[in-house]
């Protein structure tokens, strides 16, 4: 049996659908025949630059259609594709890129000057997107003797909870299986992708389109107008966006409707989301704005791929759930910590050159630690109720702050709330609710807060301390509570 290799995806598509557009960005488009040929040319250019089997090549670039032939060329020669965050400054990027020990660095025009600095620091050749090949570059296909499905296909950088970059190693086999459509290709149209090309999500979504030999429409930024333009332009059937971007799309659609110039998103059949909590009100907004589309919410990670899926039919009856276990994945919940752990062929192979982090990410018997505390109901639906590192240990019991916050969020006097564990000589930690009170509302007492959650939380989960604050510290991008900062602030009072 032949190995599952990403390069074969493009060879097959070039044979089956040579004239179909594989990828577009703005006014540029590349067919599958062109992409296979350009991929081979990039493979020859990479080999000429000294890149070989099992090397790593870092791409530092904003969204650029020329990144896709590079991606194909690397897969063909068996070198790993490693996209670095295009938003980083020189010093941060040098640290991230250096972690990969790359054989070459590839940059777009916007990063050309800084790329020269980094390439000199690391002692690697610098290549330029859009200028790697020309008419004289050989276009015959390239084979990589010795390449197997267990070899690294991509290395994605992630900072996790520590803030220090780690390279997530994903094999050809895992990426092939993460994106494979099954034994039969069901009819589907263009997919619009809002993600930056240094994000794993962009390449997972793109590979899903490439595996089905359909079109992926890239955009330069996650702008609601651009997204809707591309949906209308292509009659797109699939759109995947994070909750914050979906909200921008809904606001844009509502504004255009009010202005008498409605958008036409009726071609959409699938509306996907994930990466962070997706509220029921947002999901309802998507349903009302795009009634033709089935909604799906995925829970997963760069390391694990898609772990659970919440289907359209279950969203209203299972609010707050992240769904049931996804295909090719097995889940268990640690009986002590409540952590969700996953296993299966979609898992990553570890963190590049970081055995300590890899060992910490897996249990002794090989299960991946998601870091999320989960609950399972009697129908097999999972809910994420907190983070393992956020768990409050009080009197020998474990309390997930997010669960307590969910019980408090509808208190009529509260504009915002966050729950943390505060050190306590008797209990180890006590559950503390930091509250922001609505204008004109009376500050609730501890007893009032406890009474509000009495019917929903066990006694040990109820707050034993309430602190009034002006503002809850949250991350700008994802609005997550910065619990460490909050604890430090409360402890300094």
Kindly state the average pLDDT of the residues 234-257.
95
pLDDT at residue 480, as a whole number: 82
pLDDT at residue 92, as a whole number: 85
pTM: predicted TM-score of the whole model, two decimal places: 0.85
Tell me what percent of the residues of the chain surpass a pLDDT of 70: 98
pLDDT at residue 269, as a whole number: 98
Task: Band the pLDDT of 433: cuts 50, 70, 90.
Answer: very high
CA proximity to 368, closest of 198, 208, 160 = 160
pLDDT at residue 477, as a whole number: 60
pLDDT at residue 370, as a whole number: 95
Question: How much is the mean pLDDT over the chain?
Answer: 94
Residue pair 374/382 in contact by the 8 Å Cβ criterion: yes
pLDDT at residue 373, as a whole number: 87
Kindly state the average pLDDT of the residues 373-390.
89
Read out DSSP for 125-183? -EEETTSS--TTS--S----TT--TTSEEEEEEE-TTTTS-EEEEEEHHHHHHHH---S
50-74 residue pLDDT tens: 999 999 999 999 999 999 999 999 9
Domain boundaries of the chain, sorted by first residue = 6-374, 391-491
Q: Which residue has the higher pLDDT, 253 or 158?
A: 253
Alpha helices by DSSP H, 180-260: 200-211, 224-234, 243-258
pLDDT at residue 186, as a whole number: 82
Kindly state the average pLDDT of the residues 277-284.
88
Kindly state the average pLDDT of the residues 431-446.
97
Residue pair 173/150 in contact by the 8 Å Cβ criterion: yes
Q: Is the pLDDT of residue 1 over 70?
A: no
Say how far apart CA 264 and CA 25 lie, in whole Å: 20
pLDDT at residue 161, as a whole number: 43
State whether residue 208 is helix, strand or coil: helix
Q: Is the pLDDT of residue 339 over 80?
A: yes
pLDDT at residue 213, as a whole number: 97
Give the CATH number of domain 6-374: 3.40.50.12780
pLDDT at residue 340, as a whole number: 97
18-34 residue pLDDT tens: 999 999 999 999 999 99
Please list the residues that pair with 166 across neighbouring strands: 158
Residue pair 483/389 in contact by the 8 Å Cβ criterion: no
Q: Is the pLDDT of residue 162 over 70?
A: no
State whether residue 22 is helix, strand or coil: strand
Q: Is the pLDDT of residue 323 over 60?
A: yes
CATH superfamily of 391-491: ANL, C-terminal domain (3.30.300.30)
67-120 residue pLDDT tens: 999 999 999 999 999 999 898 889 889 999 999 999 999 999 999 999 999 999
Tell me what percent of the residues of the chain surpass a pLDDT of 90: 82
């Amino acid at each position: 049996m032949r190995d599952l290799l990403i390069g074969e995806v493009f060879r097959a598509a070039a044979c089956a659908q040579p004239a179909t557009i594989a990828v577009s960005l703005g006014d540029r488009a590349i067919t599958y025949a062109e992409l296979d040929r350009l991929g081979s040319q990039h493979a020859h250019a990479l080999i000429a630059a000294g890149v070989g089997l099992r090397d790593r090549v870092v791409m530092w670039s904003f969204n650029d259609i020329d990144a896709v032939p590079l991606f194909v060329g690397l897969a063909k020669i068996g070198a790993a594709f490693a996209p670095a965050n295009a938003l980083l400054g020189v010093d941060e990027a040098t640290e991230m890129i250096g972690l990969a020990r790359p054989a070459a660095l590839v940059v777009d025009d916007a990063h050309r000057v800084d790329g020269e600095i980094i390439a000199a620091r690391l002692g690697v050749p610098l290549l330029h997107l859009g200028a790697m090949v020309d008419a004289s570059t050989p276009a015959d296909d390239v084979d990589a003797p010795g390449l197997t499905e267990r070899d690294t296909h991509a290395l994605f950088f992630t900072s996790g909870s520590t803030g220090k970059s780690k390279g997530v190693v994903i094999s050809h086999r895992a990426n092939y299986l993460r994106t494979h459509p099954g034994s039969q290709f069901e009819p589907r149209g263009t997919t619009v992708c809002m993600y930056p090309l240094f994000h794993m999500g962009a390449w997972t979504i793109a590979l899903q389109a490439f595996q089905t030999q359909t079109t992926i429409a890239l955009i330069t930024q996650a702008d609601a107008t651009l997204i809707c333009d591309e949906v209308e332009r292509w009659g797109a059937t699939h759109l995947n966006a994070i909750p914050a971007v979906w909200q921008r799309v809904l606001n844009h659609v509502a504004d255009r409707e009010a202005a008498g110039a409605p958008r036409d998103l009726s071609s959409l059949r699938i509306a996907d989301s994930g990466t962070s909590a997706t509220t029921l009100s947002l999901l309802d907004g998507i349903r009302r704005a795009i009634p033709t589309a089935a909604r799906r919410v995925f829970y997963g990670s760069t390391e694990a791929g898609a772990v659970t899926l919440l289907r359209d039919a279950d969203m209203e009856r299972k609010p707050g759930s992240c769904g049931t276990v996804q295909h090719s994945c097995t889940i268990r919940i640690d009986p002590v910590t409540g952590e969700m752990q996953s296993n299966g062929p979609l898992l990553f192979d570890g963190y590049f050159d970081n055995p300590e982090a890899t060992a910490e990410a897996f249990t002794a018997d090989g299960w991946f630690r998601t870091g999320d505390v989960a609950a399972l109901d009697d129908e097999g639906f999972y809910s994420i109720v907190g983070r393992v590192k956020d768990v409050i240990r009080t009197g020998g019991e474990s309390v997930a702050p997010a669960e307590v916050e969910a019980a408090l969020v509808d208190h009529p006097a509260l504009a915002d709330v966050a729950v943390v564990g505060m050190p306590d000589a008797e209990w180890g930690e006590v559950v503390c609710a930091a509250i922001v009170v609505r204008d004109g509302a009376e500050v609730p007492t501890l007893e009032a807060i406890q009474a509000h959650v009495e019917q929903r939380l066990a006694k040990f989960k109820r707050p034993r301390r309430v602190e009034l604050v002006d503002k809850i510290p949250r991350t700008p991008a994802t609005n997550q509570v910065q619990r460490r900062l909050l604890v430090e602030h409360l402890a300094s009072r």
